[in-house]
Amino acid sequence: MTQLEKAQSGIITDEMHEVAKKECVSPEYVMECVKNGQIVILNGRRNAKKIVGIGKGLKTKINASIGTSTDICDIDHERRKANIAERCGADTLMELSAAGDLDAIRGAILDEVSIPVGNVPLYQAFCETIQLRNDPSKLDPEYLFDLIERQCADGVAFMAIHCGINLFTIERMKRQGYRYGGLCSKGGTLMVQWMMKNRKENPLFEQFERVCSILKRYDTVLSLGNGIRAGAIHDSLDRAQMAELILNCELAERARQMGCQAMVEGPGHVPLDEIEANIILQKKMSNDAPYYMLGPLPSDIGAGFDHITAAIGAAQSSMYGADLICYITPAEHLGLPNEKDVEIGVKVARLAAHIGDCVKLKGRADQKDKEMSKARRDFDWKKQFENMLFPEDAKVILDDRKGITHKGCSMCGDMCALKNAEISLNSYLKGDKK
């Protein structure tokens, strides 16, 4: 039985207890939300030490993506990136390799980390079809389904599967007649090409029950991929994207009815004033299914600093109810991320998600902020480091500029407001609000 089926039978599993403990909610709450498809529980089966709950009433989680490309293919490099992502606090990892021995790379990454690992089956399916037949449109659907099962059996915890691309959504794109950013999903674009050249329906949509039956067998979470997501802010909420979102929300409900855990993926590039609307639409149409946001990027001109662009969008997304955020690194739109890019991407995304959670989960997520404020007021460096999100990075800067043997920091020196307030207003400022 899957976590969803157990919840539907009124069973509180060990995994639900663990999620409840981590999130400071009751096990009964977790079970009820899993039962309703509002929380999914990721539990890899190969080197799994970390259970991750994603969804309603839980902290916003961070995904880091790694993987080879046809230009840079180094399995040891990907191992190091995976380790860095986990060490820096990523909750999940997507292995998105598109070159090399893909089975070996997936196995190495699954053995390397203890966080749940996800992937996109279409990448390997099309890569190997191109190698064998030199034409992605010659992909054999039976091979694709066999591959999905093999990857589930390997221990993949969640899969981004592009079921929402069908003849109807492609027709919406054709009738729309333009796109500023074109198509930006690798797997999605190749599936569109396969459908148009073969004049056939997407087998992942046409045989959706088969997809769910495979994933259900391994309790692999279905992440309904957004292959027609906006790759430019001026394409946000266009008819093609919305047609796919509507369909994915419907498919999430169908997956739930079959006992398969599911979440919905979102864009992409979204202007700041449309992020809330995008999340409201997804939540209303899917009965609060977990929403996995890619970025989002609220501007198209931040290359080199797109981790910051995405952090602005991620903080807003977290605040409005997104449940899982895919990090963006400084290399986005420029090249394959290196180890430093991964570190920066994870840390910036974690901070952005926390900023949103301070609003979404006020009274729970913001307690360290309160303790940090008091420790800073009282020049208590030990407590400051205990409450910082990135204490090691902060200590490097502090030691380089002055060190903790001094009160305050070198920013203001003797003009430190807190230092001078301590002299004149000490007795007024030390108390807590009752």
Instruction: Express each pLDDT in 139-164 by its tens digit.
Output: 999 999 999 999 999 999 999 999 99
Q: Which residues contact 182 (CB under 8 A, 6 or more apart)?
A: 231
> What's the rounded mean pLDDT across residues 250-263?
97
> What's the rounded mean pLDDT across residues 295-306?
96
**Residue for token pair 């409900």:** 253
List helix spans (H) across 185-259: 186-198, 203-206, 208-218, 239-257
pLDDT at 178: 87
Of 378, 325, 322, 377, the C-alpha closest to 349 is 325
Q: For the chain, what percent of residues have pLDDT higher than 70?
A: 94
pLDDT at 316: 98
pLDDT at 48: 61
pLDDT at 399: 85
Q: Is 184 exposed, middle or buried (0-12, 13-18, 19+ CB in 10 A)?
A: buried
pLDDT at 413: 73
Higher pLDDT, 358 or 423: 358
pLDDT at 218: 96
pLDDT at 429: 61
Confidence of residue 16 (pLDDT cuts 50, 70, 90): very high
pLDDT at 378: 86
pLDDT at 248: 97
pLDDT digits (tens, 9 = 90+) for 369-424: 999 999 988 889 999 999 999 999 999 998 887 765 556 677 777 777 777 666 66
Q: Which residues of 84-116 are buried (b: 16+ CB within 10 A; e: fewer)?
A: bbbebebbbbbbbbbbbebeebbebbbebbebb
Q: Is 418 exposed, middle or buried (0-12, 13-18, 19+ CB in 10 A)?
A: middle
**Residue for token pair 């070996």:** 104
Q: Give, in order, the Cα–Cα distances in Å from 148 to each of 39, 100, 118, 223, 316.
A: 23, 18, 12, 13, 34
List helix spans (H) across 361-416: 367-377, 381-387, 391-401
Numbered ranges of CATH 3.20.20.540 in the chain: 3-360
What's the rounded Cα separation, in Å, for the pair 357 and 267? 20
CATH H-level superfamily of 3-360 = Radical SAM ThiC family, central domain (3.20.20.540)
pLDDT at 403: 62
What's the rounded Cα separation, in Å, for the pair 144 and 204? 9
What's the rounded Cα separation, in Å, for the pair 37 and 56? 10
pLDDT digits (tens, 9 = 90+) for 95-148: 999 999 999 999 999 999 999 999 999 999 999 999 999 999 999 999 999 999
Q: Is 296 exposed, middle or buried (0-12, 13-18, 19+ CB in 10 A)?
A: buried
What's the rounded Cα separation, in Å, for the pair 399 and 406? 11
pLDDT digits (tens, 9 = 90+) for 155-199: 999 999 999 999 999 999 899 988 999 888 899 999 999 999 999
